[in-house]
Amino acid sequence: MDWSLADYLMAATLLALLVGGVVFLFSKRWCLAYRMGCALSIATAVILFWVSGAVGIIGASENDANLAYSALLALGFLASFAVRLKPGGMALNFAALAAGQFLIGLFALIMGLGREGVSWPYDILAATIVFSLLWLGSAIAFRLAMKPAAETV
Closest to 42 (Cα-Cα) out of 80, 8, 6: 80
Q: Quick one: CA dihedral 25, 28, 29, 30, positive or negative?
A: negative
For 69-113, write each residue's pLDDT tens digit. Answer: 999 999 999 999 999 999 999 999 999 999 999 999 999 999 999
Question: What are the pLDDT digits (tens) for 24-64?
Answer: 777 777 789 999 999 999 999 999 999 998 889 998 888 99
5 has pLDDT over 90: no
Q: Is the pLDDT at 139 greater than 60, yes or no?
A: yes
The pLDDT of 111-133, averaged and rounded, is: 92
Q: Has this prediction a pTM greater than 0.75?
A: yes
Alpha helices for the chain (secondary structure H) = 5-27, 32-54, 67-82, 87-111, 122-144
pLDDT bin (cut points 50, 70, 90) of residue 149 is low
